[in-house]
């Protein structure tokens, strides 16, 4: 039986209007859009961002702007419908397989009238894009039947598993986005398994980060004294001479922050194809046929509920794949707690 070939499929994101908050005042509009639309994560082509700016489809306070235009707090940015050609498989309903739709209910950690918290599997992007048929948001929009009313409040990397919060109303979205800003009060805690016995002296890693992208190359993040402030707090949960189970709490939320900081201080995360080393993974886990997945999990979130102002702590179960790896490395994983409201 012949396998079905992927076909082109047009994925359309609706018109959005975004109000610039004080944190992004002074930022160039092109850089703002690159972050806002996920181009820094490779989900939307960078060339598309510059095309919609060049053609005047992006408006700031109803006027056309150049890519170099600096934003002011309170500016209203109109982001046009984004059309992406992505690969799809014939016969899949709305480009999402029945297997993923059947799996959707078990991914939900918490749900109420304002928000949805999901335990995203590693390998699933937060939203569809170039060569990505669908992501978490498209899956959950179809599962909940909320359509475009359901929005991402923040993002995590495609290869990272764990908690992602989605907003059901515009008011909830605005409140959650403010909490997830670098100066916001959302507390994000991750689990990671790294190579080597982590040093207790590295409880706080303060190393500025800068995004870098060469011509025709995938983007990377590097430690750079001229970069943006980036601070991660690390604590050891279990360790031996081969590997350490770490808890990482973000004080700032830069792209790839935990991955880059861990590699920078000499303890790369196991399974990190971008900042780690394949040979180290092979030596650590010689019996694994394939390279292990990225062992980074968005484990816990502490936020303020956008409607009630009550404290809300969410915890995501650790991926099943981690258990056998932790056993091989003689590391004991923590038990996930229930959601606390």
Q: Point out the residues that are catalytic.
A: 157
Contacts for 143 with CB less than 8 Å, ≥ 6 apart: 101, 104, 105
Distance CA 189, CA 206 (A): 17
Q: How many Å separate Cα 197 from the centre of its chain? A: 27
Q: Which of 149, 162, 148 is nearest to 109 (CA)?
A: 162
> What are the two backbone dihedrals, phi and then psi, of residue 297, each rounded to the nearest 5 degrees?
-135, 125
Q: Alpha carbon of 271 to those of 63, 263, 277, 294: distances in Å?
A: 46, 12, 8, 4
313 within 8 A of 292, measured Cβ to Cβ: no
| Residue 23, both tokens | 């944190």
Pairing relation of β-strands 231-239 and 204-206?
Answer: antiparallel
Distance CA 165, CA 137 (A): 10
Using left for φ > 0, alpha for ψ between -120 and 50, and beta otherwise, residue 112 falls in beta
């Amino acid at each position: 039986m012949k396998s079905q070939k992927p076909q082109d499929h047009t994925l359309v994101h609706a018109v959005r209007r975004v109000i610039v908050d004080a944190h992004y005042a002074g930022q160039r509009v092109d850089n703002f859009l690159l972050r806002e639309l996920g181009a820094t994560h490779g989900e939307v082509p960078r060339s598309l961002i510059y095309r919609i700016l060049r053609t005047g489809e992006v408006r700031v306070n109803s006027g056309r702007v150049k890519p170099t235009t600096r934003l002011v707090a309170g500016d209203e940015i109109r982001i046009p419908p984004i059309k992406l050609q992505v690969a799809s498989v014939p016969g899949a309903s709305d480009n999402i397989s029945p297997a993923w739709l059947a799996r959707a209910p078990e991914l939900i950690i918490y749900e109420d009238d304002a928000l949805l918290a999901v335990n995203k599997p590693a390998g699933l992007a937060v939203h569809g894009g170039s060569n990505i048929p669908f992501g978490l948001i498209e899956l959950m929009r179809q599962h909940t039947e909320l359509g475009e009313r359901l929005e991402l409040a923040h993002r995590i990397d495609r290869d990272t598993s764990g908690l992602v919060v989605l907003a059901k109303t515009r008011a909830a979205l605005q409140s959650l986005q403010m909490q997830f800003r670098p100066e916001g009060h959302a507390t994000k805690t991750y689990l990671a398994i790294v190579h080597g016995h982590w040093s207790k002296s590295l409880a706080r890693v303060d190393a500025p980060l800068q995004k870098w992208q060469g011509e025709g190359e995938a983007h990377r993040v590097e430690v750079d004294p001229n970069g943006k402030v980036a601070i991660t707090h690390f604590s050891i949960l279990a360790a031996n001479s081969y590997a350490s189970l770490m808890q990482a709490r973000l004080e700032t939320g830069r792209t790839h922050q935990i991955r880059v900081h861990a590699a920078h201080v000499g303890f790369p995360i196991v399974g990190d194809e971008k900042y780690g080393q394949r040979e180290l993974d092979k030596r650590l886990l010689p019996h694994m046929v394939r390279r292990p997945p990225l062992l980074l999990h968005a484990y816990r979130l502490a936020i303020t509920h956008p409607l009630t102002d009550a404290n809300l702590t969410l915890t995501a179960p650790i991926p099943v794949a981690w258990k056998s790896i932790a056993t091989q490395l003689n590391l004991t994983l923590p038990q996930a707690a229930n959601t606390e409201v």
